[in-house]
Structure 1
Amino acid sequence: MVVFVGGLLVAYALWGMWWTLWGAIVIGAISLIGIAFEPRRVRSIGYRLREDDLVFKRGIMFQRQVAVPYGRMQLVDITRGPVARALGLADLKFVTAAAATAVTVPGLPMEEADRLRDELVALAETRRAGL
């Protein structure tokens, strides 16, 4: 957003187009509001390993809670983008046969993601269901 705001401010300074100043103000305000709410958004994400399944929850206004039985897990995948790699973070994704239950736990430390993936794969292998 810094690039967009900067570009709009440069356009306003060079050509005096009044609408670019308002665009910069609106984009800047929306960006600041998003940054202010980000810590709350991060705290709303959680998971819990139970005896028979993994429960994942997320959401502030619209909350989603999914229970994925260990025996139904088909794939446990770790994804790391360039920013996540630089910060030492990873996303852990679980896939089942039902597309609606695909769950991604974002922002895990890499060591925790590796440990959790290994634990979930071991639990899934001991509790295969319907195969």
Structure 2
Amino acid sequence: MSRRGLEAGITGWQRVSNRLIAVRLVGTAVGAVVGLAVGIGILVLFGPTTWVGWIVVGVVGLNALIQAVLTPRGVRSIGWVLREDDLVVRRGLLLSRLVAVPYGRMQLVDVNRGPVAQLLGLAELRLVTAAAASDVTLPGLPEAEAIRLRDALVERAEERRVGL
């Protein structure tokens, strides 16, 4: 069954904040500035006929352009839903991922805030389980919602573990 087929049976999807687009674009811009500075530095040091400098500038510029185009759609592909027994998280465009984390398997539920995200009032929720492959991060949540979701998940996880 395809991902879309699996998602069709799940209702009540929540989306992350669109402000996450700005956070990711700032990260892309910072990386592009550093990369372009390296490329331009090579051109200044070795002359404009140095092909390595032009390749660095071209690759960095192309990467920044691709990231700027794909970032909004990538952010809109992130979603989550609380079900009776688990939290389901989806993300990704080309490499899509749909993960269901049972409440009883959660070992750590953590809220993180990067500097740009914090300026925009966003946080990231990170779930850790015993299986490293099922660790999940949910970026771009409004800070109050991330804290509320963390508390709800911790409460549900404690209820499930008591029943084991």
Q: Which range, TM-score by smaller chain?
A: 0.7 to 0.9
CA distance in 1, matches of 2:110, 2:61: 36
Among candidates 58, 61, 79, match of residue 28 of structure 1: 61
Among candidates 73, 80, 97, match of residue 47 of structure 1: 80
1:73 alignment counterpart: 106
More contact order relative to length (CA 8 Å, sep ≥ 6): 2
Q: Specify the code of the residue in structure 2 equivalent to 1:2.
A: V
**With structure 1 as the length reference, what TM-score do the two structures score?**
0.86
Among candidates 79, 82, 98, match of residue 115 of structure 2: 82
CA shift at 1:43, angstroms? 1.1
> 1:11·1:17 contact (CA, 8 Å) conserved in 2?
no
Pairwise CA RMSD of aligned residues? 2.0
1:4 alignment counterpart: 35
> 2:35·2:56 contact (CA, 8 Å) conserved in 1?
no
> 2:125·2:139 contact (CA, 8 Å) conserved in 1?
yes
Aligned-pair identity in percent equals 56
Shift in CA distance, 3/51, structure 1 to aligned 2, threshold 3 Å:
same
CA distance in 1, matches of 2:99, 2:116: 27
Deviation readout 1:52-94 (Å, 9 max, x if unpaired): 1111111111221111111221111111122222222111011
Structure 1 residue runs of 4 or more that deviate by more than 2 Å after TM superposition = 6-18
1:103 alignment counterpart: 136
Count of residues in Structure 1 that have an aligned counterpart in Structure 2: 131
Gaps of 5+ in 1: none
**With structure 2 as the length reference, what TM-score do the two structures score?**
0.71
1:37 alignment counterpart: 70
1:17 alignment counterpart: 49
SS in 1 for 2:161: coil
Deviation readout 1:85-117 (Å, 9 max, x if unpaired): 222211101112222111110111111100100
CA distance in 1, matches of 2:38, 2:133: 40
Among candidates 119, 125, 131, match of residue 92 of structure 1: 125
CA shift at 1:36, angstroms? 0.6
Gaps of 5+ in 2: 1-31
